[in-house]
């Protein structure tokens, strides 16, 4: 097994951290490695957003600026893309994102009742964060773990098959840090870094991309020609 390579953020006191959270130098370096995996830099946009979330627990405006510069788009495009995806948070969330699925399989397994219990027990509505910043409660769509209903994820780690009692215990454990590395802080997704890449000759890559661009241009020309010939 490969060991996790890039460091997991240790500090959970990010809610008190200064609001200017640009990507740190080592994360910028890691971001450039991720970009190199793709034929086009923009493909790394979502992976880079995950990287930024790993640092701060959410996508800060400063990090979105960095991502924009790195992949060659505007910060608004980063925000516009990130806001489409449920997992990317453009506002702060708690250290533990607790997602209760209430979709059909979980509904049949008592998920609506569990979510109601969670709201009462945590004292927040769905979508809210507890005052101590420990827990954000979310109602999730199907998380594909339907044989352990109701399905619950904490920071995208599966902890399914919860009862109201086990749920309350789980919340206590999260607050006391009992789960350790099993459930890393919110934002940490893939702790295994790609350790190697295809060592292709740079000139081959350049030639391949030129061929791609030419094929694309030909296709565009053919499609233009087809439009010209079609009924108007």
Partner 1 sequence: MAVTDPPKIVTSRLEHADSHTLERYLATGGYEGLRQALTMTPEAVAHEVDTASLLGRGGAGFPAGRKWAMLRADPVTYLVVNGDESEPATFKDHLLVERDPHQLIEGSLIAAYALQVSQVFIYVRGEFALGLERVEAAINDAYAHGAVGADIFGSGFSVDIVVHPGAGAYICGEETALLESLEGKRGFPRIKPPFFPAAIGLYGQPTVVNNVETMSNLPWIVRNGGAAFAALGEGRSTGTRLFALAGHVKNPGVFELEMVKTTFGDLINAPVLGGGIPGGRSLKAFIPGGVSAPWFGPDQIDLPLGQDEVGAAGSMLGSGSVVVMDDHTCAVRASWRITKFFARESCGQCTPCREGSGWLEKIMNRIETGEGREEDLDLLLDASDNISPGLSWPPQQTTICVLGPSIPSSIASAIQMFRDEFLVHIKEGGCPYG
Tell me which residues touch partner 1 (CB under 8 A).
1-2, 4, 37-40, 42-47, 49-50, 71, 73, 80-82, 84-88, 102-105, 107-109, 141-147, 149, 153, 155-158, 189-200, 212, 215-216, 219, 223
- What does R_g of the chain's alpha carbons equal in angstroms? 22
Which one, 2 or 203, has the nearer CB to partner 1? 2
| Nearest-approach distance from CB 163 to partner 1, in angstroms | 16
Q: H helices within the chain, ranges in order?
A: 25-36, 45-56, 61-71, 75-82, 104-108, 111-122, 164-176, 202-229
| Nearest-approach distance from CB 154 to partner 1, in angstroms | 10
Distances (CA, A) of 77 to 21, 22, 50, 64, 86: 19, 17, 16, 9, 16
Which one, 60 or 153, has the nearer CB to partner 1? 153
Which one, 71 or 135, has the nearer CB to partner 1? 71
The Cα–Cα gap between 231 and 53 comes to 50
Name the 3-class secondary structure at 136: strand
| Nearest-approach distance from CB 197 to partner 1, in angstroms | 7
Which one, 101 or 135, has the nearer CB to partner 1? 101
Task: Assess contact for 33 and 23: CB atoms under 8 A.
Answer: no
The Cα–Cα gap between 115 and 139 comes to 8
Which one, 11 or 144, has the nearer CB to partner 1? 144
């Amino acid at each position: 097994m490969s060991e996790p390579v890039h460091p997991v953020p240790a500090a959970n006191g990010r809610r008190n951290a200064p609001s200017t959270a640009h990507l740190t130098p080592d994360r910028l370096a890691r971001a450039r490695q991720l970009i190199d995996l793709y034929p086009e830099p923009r493909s790394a946009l979502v992976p880079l957003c995950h990287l930024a979330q790993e640092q701060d627990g959410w996508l800060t405006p400063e990090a979105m600026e960095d991502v924009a510069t790195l992949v060659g788009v505007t910060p608004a495009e980063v925000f516009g893309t990130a806001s489409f995806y449920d997992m990317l948070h453009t506002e702060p969330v708690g250290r533990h994102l607790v997602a209760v699925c209430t979709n059909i399989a979980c509904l049949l397994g008592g998920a609506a009742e569990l979510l109601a219990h969670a709201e009462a027990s945590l004292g927040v509505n769905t979508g809210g964060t507890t005052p101590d910043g420990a827990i954000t409660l979310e109602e999730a769509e199907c998380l594909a773990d339907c044989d352990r209903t109701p399905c619950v994820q904490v920071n995208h780690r599966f902890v399914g098959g919860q009862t109201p009692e086990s749920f309350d215990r789980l919340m206590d454990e999260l607050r006391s840090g009992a789960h350790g590395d099993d459930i890393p802080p919110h934002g940490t997704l893939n702790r295994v870094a790609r350790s190697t890449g295809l060592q292709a000759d740079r000139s081959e890559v350049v030639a391949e991309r030129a061929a791609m661009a030419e094929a694309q241009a030909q296709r565009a020309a053919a499609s233009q020609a087809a439009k010209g010939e079609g009924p108007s």
